[in-house]
Structure 1
């Protein structure tokens, strides 16, 4: 059975670091034997189809192929359409009533529990807020991610230690659902 996946790459094409042209990312995915390859924006989203493997094996293979071809390491999370759809559907904030820049999802490489966030003083950051989901964190930042003090706290190494974590705004979350929809 063929499955459509999204690959989320962390920290590429930001501030002139880890330059990875999207045409070359598509070529890497095709060389790995994937079909239906496409990219979205320059910030590290790709879609592809595969009839074998799983999310972790695809992420590992892509990470290795990028390192071999470009000489630098990139953290990669791969998720299938069903997961991406569930993340969008399970949003605990009123997404339809918010501007897309106010809502973000941080995808994690593995499940996270509330104990990681015990030291975050949520009340001190109101009206900003966050909720945990399945290997994800939903962040409501009314002034946007760039001005969010809560986002700074949530990105601290004590919270993200041992994880791959990469964030996307709500527009991108929805676009990935659309791009991975089975045909």
Structure 2
């Protein structure tokens, strides 16, 4: 059995795509996943499976959600080791002086093209917010006194033409504790 983490995008946000996590846990377990647990209502799932291929597992979960609830949601399945690496790679400039609830990790479904990355070439244009893109992760932070910030999932997806899902540092740490 392998432990995996699933991050759903757009579940239970602003009253849209409502799914009760207990209901989802039961549904996922009945589909063959084991020891399914969830964290908060925004689609954070930890489970065990015999299946190896994370992209196939993600597609299976996406299909299960679509079939049962009628929602087509983005689903990212990753290994705990990848999440540990992402957390360990948090650039100091992003974390410096920021609370963990305002430090974000956007995990991309694919690497953005160089042309698209050039659209975000000047991080100073977003100060006092900060961001840094490393491989398929965008690390960003917003000062506590700013809400909402300019930097968010929609901005990055629109500029980079790549989809992704975002979690804050507290959520990432809790998911790793759950594993």
Q: Please report the TM-score for the alignment, with normalisation by the length of structure 1.
A: 0.86
1:155 is aligned to 156
Select between 33-42 and 108-117 the one with higher mean Cα deviation: 108-117
Q: Where does structure 1 lack aligned partners over 5 or more consecutive residues?
A: none
* SS at 2:85 equivalent: helix
CA offset digits 1:82-124 (Å, max 9, x no partner): 1011011111126485311221000111233554231234222
For residues 145 and 52 of structure 1, the distance between their equivalents in structure 2, rounded to whole angstroms, comes to 42
CA offset digits 1:128-168 (Å, max 9, x no partner): 22112342110021137742113377335242x2x331111
CA RMSD of aligned residues (A): 2.1
Contact 1:4 1:81 in 2 (8 A): yes
For residues 78 and 139 of structure 1, the distance between their equivalents in structure 2, rounded to whole angstroms, comes to 21
2:64 is aligned to 65
Q: Where does structure 2 lack aligned partners over 5 or more consecutive residues?
A: none
Question: How far off its partner does 1:171 sit?
Answer: 0.1
**Residue 164 to residue 27, structure 1, CA distance change in 2 (3 Å):** farther
Question: How far off its partner does 1:25 sit?
Answer: 1.2
Q: Please report the TM-score for the alignment, with normalisation by the length of structure 2.
A: 0.88
1:140 is aligned to 141
**Residue 144 to residue 71, structure 1, CA distance change in 2 (3 Å):** farther
Contact 2:51 2:57 in 1 (8 A): no
Alignment of 1:32-181 (within 5 A): 32-93=31-92, 95=95, 98-112=98-112, 115-120=115-120, 121-143=122-144, 146-151=147-152, 154-159=155-160, 161=161, 163-180=162-179
**Residue 134 to residue 117, structure 1, CA distance change in 2 (3 Å):** closer
* SS at 1:118 equivalent: helix
Select between 16-25 and 127-136 the one with higher mean Cα deviation: 127-136
**Residue 69 to residue 178, structure 1, CA distance change in 2 (3 Å):** same
Contact 2:21 2:38 in 1 (8 A): yes
Matched residue pairs, number?
Answer: 177
